[in-house]
Structure 1
Amino acid sequence: MSGGTPGRRRLLPAACLLALAGLLAGTPAHAQNQAPADGGAAANDQLDEKIRELIPEALAREALQQALRTIRPELCQGDDMCRLASAEEFANPPLTPDDARAAIYFAMRSAATQWCGLDYKRSYLPMLVYGKHRRKMTDRELFLLSLIHGEFMGEQVSKYVESGQDCPPELRERIDSTFPRLPESGVVE
């Protein structure tokens, strides 16, 4: 997805920062490894709507198609999750546009986290946990989610670096206080 397609809307660093600041306040408890009393339904609905407004469906669909084009056997060690995408998968992707939007959203969070000198896995791992446990995604679906996340995170980190600006201390503090801390083992289940 790098290189940019003419007319394609991409998220710029400034837009990502503004979006991230707005979305942090609405981060659902499940994304923070907490168990809310209502199961996170209200916060999740609110966040989903904010993400839908920020990330156009066309961009989410394009990201999903790119992930399907990227996946190949040599990315894994003989695992079925890395088999080439079939014509059926391109026509009916295994992830929804909202799944792709979520991966892009978590990529924005991860990029800002890394830019601010914190461990990006504080955003990335909760995405995988949510996909695996709440959405009951298969390994292949999680891998596609990770490909989308990695592509967008890489783009955003590059844009932050190219900007020559440092992470604002307020943003670093907000991320550090909002995003979950990883256990000593580094494994989140």
Structure 2
Amino acid sequence: MFKLNSRFAPMAAASLALALSLYTAGCTLDGGVTPSATPTPTPSHDTHQEANAEAIEHMAEGPAKTLTAIALDAADSEAPKVGSDHHRYDVTLVSSGSEMVGKVKFDSAEAGDYTFFLNADVPLALKDAAGETVEIEETGGAIANSLIKQHYVAELGVGSYYLHFGPTQEASLSLVIEGGAHDHAH
């Protein structure tokens, strides 16, 4: 046996208690349920992770719809529609001088946070039906091990919005929209 210096005894006892609690975290409770060592995510974290997973799937596997955006100064009524309907939208941009731009319409059926996932690092601005700029709450880069290179989050009310892409050197992009409280059944 060893002799423990009395000034280290409280620290040793605390270390032993911590080690035992970590060890027993893997043991089962009555009924065979194993406690999780991972904290339960908050609902917003769950929603964010679910949106990322959905977007990764649809960006890679589709189904896809192809469309050509309109010029940023074109009439809003001419803008092709995109949706948060479990599709990837393959969008061809239009020339504006030496750069490419484009505008598409998105109708938000429910109020909430929407994430706009792109397969290219292209600037995005959102405008409401009155032409007012909608604040982008979060801008994120690529999602590891996926085709997603950029994503933007905005809180939208019910109504029509216009996505303004560019200016960029990219001639096209792919877009997946996730958000609202819609059902994720495929």
TM-score of the superposition, structure 1-length normalised? 0.31
Q: TM-score, normalised by structure 2?
A: 0.31
Which has the larger share of strand? 2
